[in-house]
Structure 1
C-alpha cells in the first residue's frame, strides 16, 4: 500500500499494521514537514510491549462540556507562513506549546486566542527530536489562560480524553474519545524515537497538530501530533506526545532556547534471540563507534540497569545528559562484554 500524502502534510506509517498514514499539522498549500521527505518519507509508529502497565487512573471525571469550558480559553490557533496548526498556553508569561513541524522554517508566526484576537509570535525554541516547539506572545494578561499539565504516566487504556484544536482552521473544535493504547513509539522529524506516545480514537485531523489532549480532569496529558490513515483524514487512530515529555522539553526550550538529549549513536530494535536491545546500526564517529560497539551486539545492561528492550535502553540514555559516562554491557558471539561510553549531544 502506497503512503497517503495529503497536500499539506507527509505520511505516517503504523508498522504493525503495514498501513499508510499522515502527519497532522499545517494546513494551507505548502508541504510543511520536509524533515521527513528524504528516504521513504515515512514516520513509523511502533507498538512497544511494557510490563507492569498502569492499571487505573483517577476516578473523578468531568463531562466533555465541562472540560471544554475549563480549557477552551487556553487553546490557540497558530498561523505560520507555510500553514496552520494548534497550540495551548503553557504559562502566564505568554509561552505557547505546539508541534515543531507546525512552525519550523516559518518566516512569520501568529497566534489567535479564544476571543479572536491575534498576536505576532516569536519562536523561542524548537526541538525536532520530540516534535515540540515553544512560542512567545506579548498578549494582555486578561487574555492568557494557561492550561495545567497532567501526569501522562498515570494514564490507563480506556481513560477518557478530549482533543481541542483547529482542524482545517475551524478553531475551538472539540472531540472526545479514549486512550486506545499506551507506550507507542513515533518517529520525530529528524528520525529519533518519541517513546511512550499515546494512541487515541478521539477525532484528530489536519490542523489539530500541536493542540492539547486533555484528561477527564481537564489537564493536558498530550500534544496531538500524528494520525494513522488510509484516506488522509481521521480514521480513529491518532497519536499524541506525552505530557511528561512536554514538561521536560518545554522547560529547556524556555530556559535555553534548545533542548539537549544524550546520544549513543545506534539504531536499535528488540532482540529476537534474547532479552535486550539489539543494535542494528552504529553511526560513524559516535560514542558507540568509539566504544567499538557493532551491529548485531545485544545490550543487556546500561548505567547499572538491566535492559530488556530497545525502549528501555533509550529511556536510560534519555535520563542522562551529554558528557555523562555510563557502563554498557552487551553480548557478542555468545560472550558478554562491558565498556565505558561517554555520551554525546544528539545532533539536530
Structure 2
C-alpha cells in the first residue's frame, strides 16, 4: 500500500515538472530574443572612397615634403654654478626652430632662441643630432647663425630663397617649426599686414616685419615662413598674445633683411650697421620736440672725423639758458623721421658705402646734404 502511494505521488509530480521545464524554456527563448534585439550589430561600416585630393591640398603636401628636411629642432642648455659647492651643472634652458642655410652646415635662427645659452643641440629631420657652435648674432635683427657638421657632413636639402619686397596682404603663407616641442609642425595662414615694427631692447626697432595669422607659438621661433611656392620669405620671430599662445598675430623677420644680415654674420661673426656718425637719444629728443614743436631727430653729438663731421653737421649745445639746438634731421631720402629708433632703422635698409640724402633744419633754415654711410659697431 505504501508502494502504491509513492507511484501515485510520482505520477502527480510529472506534469508539474514538465510545466516548469517548459516555462524555463519559454523564458530563455524570450530573453534571448530581447537580448538579440537590444545588442547592436557589430558589422563594420562600408568605407566611402574619398576620391582625388584637391589641388590646393596636394600643393600643401608637396610644399611640406620639400621643406621639412631643411627645418631643425634646437634645444639649448645653460651652465649654472652651485653657490655652495661651486659645481657646474648643465640645465635645460629652452627650445626653438632653425633653418639649414647652406651646404656648410650653417643654421639660421632667432637671437632670442640662443640668448643666454651655454650650448645648443641641433636635431635634423632625419634624426641626426649635432652640437652647434655660435658663428655670429645680430640682436637688433633678432637673428643668429649656428654651425654644425664637420668633415664628411652632408647637409639636407635647403629651401629656395624668395623675396619679401613684393609680398601682398592676403597671399597664403606657411610656417614650419616646433611649437611647444611638437617637432615639424606645419601651419597655414595669410599675410595679414606688412612693414610692422616692434620695439627692441637691444637697439633700433625691428622693422619691416611680416605679420601673419598662421599659428605661431613658443618653439616656432627661428623657423621658416614660406610662400605658396615653397620659397623662404621670413624667419618667424614673435607673437602678440596676452595668453602667451597663438592669437592669430605673428611676426617674421623678412627674408630681404635675412639676406642682408646673415652673410655678414657668417663672414665676420657680427653685423656691421651703417652709420652717419651722429648720436641722439629718444628721451632727450622727445623733450626737445615738445619744447620746440619741431618733428625730427635732434643731433646731440657729432663723432669727430665722421662723415657727418666732414659734412659740417652741428650738434646741440648746452648753455646757461638751456639747450640750443644744432641740426635737426627731419627726413632721410625725403621720408620723414621723428624718432631716433626710426632713423636708425631707416639707415639699416642701406649698406655701408651707399649714399643717402638728409634733410636738415638749423635755426629755421632747411638744407639737404648727401652723405656716404660709414661702418658702425
244, 247, 250: which one aligns with 1:235 = 247
Q: 1:312 to 1:202 in 2, by over 3 A?
A: same
| Residue 67 (structure 1) shift | 1.5
| Residue 283 (structure 1) shift | 6.6
Which structure would you say has the larger Rg? 2
114, 117, 129: which one aligns with 1:106 = 117
Q: How many equivalent residue pairs?
A: 282
> Unaligned stretches of 5+ in structure 2?
1-55, 78-92, 317-324
CA distance in structure 1 between the aligned counterparts of 2:105 and 2:295, rounded to whole angstroms: 42
Counterpart of 2:76 in structure 1 is: 80
Question: More helix per residue: 1 or 2?
Answer: 2
Report whether the alignment pairs 1:307 with 2:335. yes
Report whether the alignment pairs 1:147 with 2:159. yes
CA distance in structure 1 between the aligned counterparts of 2:173 and 2:123, rounded to whole angstroms: 24
Counterpart of 2:352 in structure 1 is: 321
> Unaligned stretches of 5+ in structure 1?
1-59
Q: Contact 2:334/2:357 (CA < 8 Å) preserved in 1?
A: no
CA distance in structure 2 between the aligned counterparts of 1:178 and 1:61, rounded to whole angstroms: 16
CA distance in structure 1 between the aligned counterparts of 2:127 and 2:153, rounded to whole angstroms: 15
Counterpart of 2:12 in structure 1 is: none
- What is the TM-score with the length of structure 2 in the denominator? 0.65
CA distance in structure 2 between the aligned counterparts of 1:266 and 1:325, rounded to whole angstroms: 21
Q: Contact 1:223/1:242 (CA < 8 Å) preserved in 2?
A: yes
State the secondary structure of the residue aligned to 1:315.
Answer: helix
State the secondary structure of the residue aligned to 2:97.
Answer: strand
Question: More strand per residue: 1 or 2?
Answer: 1
59, 64, 67: which one aligns with 1:68 = 64
State the secondary structure of the residue aligned to 2:108.
Answer: strand
The structure showing larger relative contact order (alpha-carbon pairs under 8 Å, at least 6 residues apart) is 1
Q: Contact 2:194/2:208 (CA < 8 Å) preserved in 1?
A: yes
State the secondary structure of the residue aligned to 1:129.
Answer: helix
| Residue 183 (structure 1) shift | 0.6
State the secondary structure of the residue aligned to 1:83.
Answer: strand
- What is the TM-score with the length of structure 1 in the denominator? 0.71
| Residue 297 (structure 1) shift | 6.3
Q: 1:161 to 1:122 in 2, by over 3 A?
A: same
| Residue 266 (structure 1) shift | 3.9
Aligned Cα RMSD in Å? 3.4
204, 229, 253: which one aligns with 1:217 = 229
292, 297, 312: which one aligns with 1:279 = 297
Counterpart of 2:135 in structure 1 is: 124
